[in-house]
Chain A
Amino acid sequence: MTLTAAGRSIAGTTRFIRYAFMPNRLQYCGGDDNRALFEYALADVREAPLVRMLRKFSGAVPYLVLIAQRNGIADPFDERVVEAYWIGNELLERVEAHELYDSLRERFRKELSPRVMERVSGKAPAGARPHHSFHVFDVWRHTERMSGDVLATLDSCRISWGTVRSVEGGELLVERSPLLLREGKLALGEPQTERVTRLVEGKGFATDARPGDVVSVHWGWACEVLDERQRRALERYTQHHIRLANETI
């Protein structure tokens, strides 16, 4: 882990960008800072302007704050916190997603209308962890029209994992299990071979990926090479939130 002079992790901001880079490039979230974010991550540099850019990712930051607070970590962009949100790790065992809404309810009890209180109270099902996959599969509870296009979008939006079969220029050929509907329920299918992007303008975050490695994938982008502990955690929390989502589908 790289540390700044103040002793704070900068690898956490870098890891955050590895996962946020592609949806931001596609203009799905965050501010208009994509090139700067990419350069910051490639250089593994953390400074105040970068943190201001990262705060524009309004969906993720509250959960980083929650994970950090419940684990006694001061920095929401600590590497362990960022890993917990995107990939999953033991920090999630000490916090449930509904705690964010509980603390908010406590804080704004007088300001919130009964209707909003009702919505806030029921926001996160019991057992949901502040993991990115909770956000993704929670979309099912917010929309009434779920088409095949939306299923494909969920599959791109979740952080998935794939085993590298070959490196082909700026792409990786990986075997990855797609998200699908099986008897009306979400499930992961048999692994399929597909291409993911590993380089933009000759640069990327999984440049050292080799056949046999497992990479994380977000919006068709190879975010980084995962070790076995990380792959197991990502699979575990993904399957956990699929099960939760299936309770309401």
Chain B
Amino acid sequence: MCQAIPRRVLEVAPGSVRAEIDGEPRWVRAAAHLDDVKVGDYVVVYAGVALEAIDPEEAEERLGFLRELEAMFPEEEPA
């Protein structure tokens, strides 16, 4: 929450990109210098704004780290 997290770009439009955020594809505003971002690229998204492009390898590593964090969660309580 309120963290800068790499997100894969799913779709591009003028001034915005669609990225997968916490399991939901969402449109976010793209910073002005991100005018050459493409589908499949990774961007760092912070509070609804894509701030910068990030190397795919580094993005995958960061995302892998977050996935491993999730693996540390305790089991869900029963319904």
18 additional A-B pairs beyond A119-B62, A158-B2, beta carbons within 8 Å, are: A23-B47, A27-B24, A28-B48, A29-B2, A48-B78, A58-B69, A103-B72, A111-B68, A112-B65, A116-B61, A116-B64, A120-B65, A135-B3, A138-B3, A142-B3, A145-B31, A153-B46, A153-B47
Q: Does A81 contact B (CB under 8 A)?
A: no
| Chain B nearest Cβ from A199, distance in angstroms | 23
Cross-chain contact B2 with A23 (CB below 8 angstroms): yes
Q: Does B74 contact A (CB under 8 A)?
A: yes
A-B contact pairs, 21 of them (CB 8 A): A26-B48, A27-B24, A27-B48, A29-B21, A48-B79, A52-B76, A55-B76, A59-B1, A62-B69, A104-B68, A111-B68, A112-B68, A132-B2, A136-B2, A139-B46, A144-B52, A145-B31, A145-B52, A153-B47, A153-B49, A157-B2
Q: What 0/1 pattern do residues 122 to 166 of A give for CB contact below 8 A with B?
A: 000000000010011011001111010110010011100000000
Q: Does B77 contact A (CB under 8 A)?
A: yes
Q: Does B10 contact A (CB under 8 A)?
A: no
Within 8 A of A (CB), among B28-65: 31, 33, 44, 46-49, 51-52, 61-62, 64-65
A27 cross-chain contacts in B, Cβ below 8 A: 21, 24, 26, 48
Give A100 to B71 CA distance when docked, in angstroms: 13
A143's nearest neighbour on chain B, judged by CB, is B51
A29 cross-chain contacts in B, Cβ below 8 A: 1-2, 21-22
Size class of the contact patch on chain B? 20 to 34
Cross-chain contact B47 with A156 (CB below 8 angstroms): yes
Hey, which bits of chain B sit against chain A, CB under 8 A? 1-5, 21-24, 26, 31, 33, 44, 46-49, 51-52, 61-62, 64-66, 68-70, 72-74, 76-79
| Chain A nearest Cβ from B52, distance in angstroms | 6
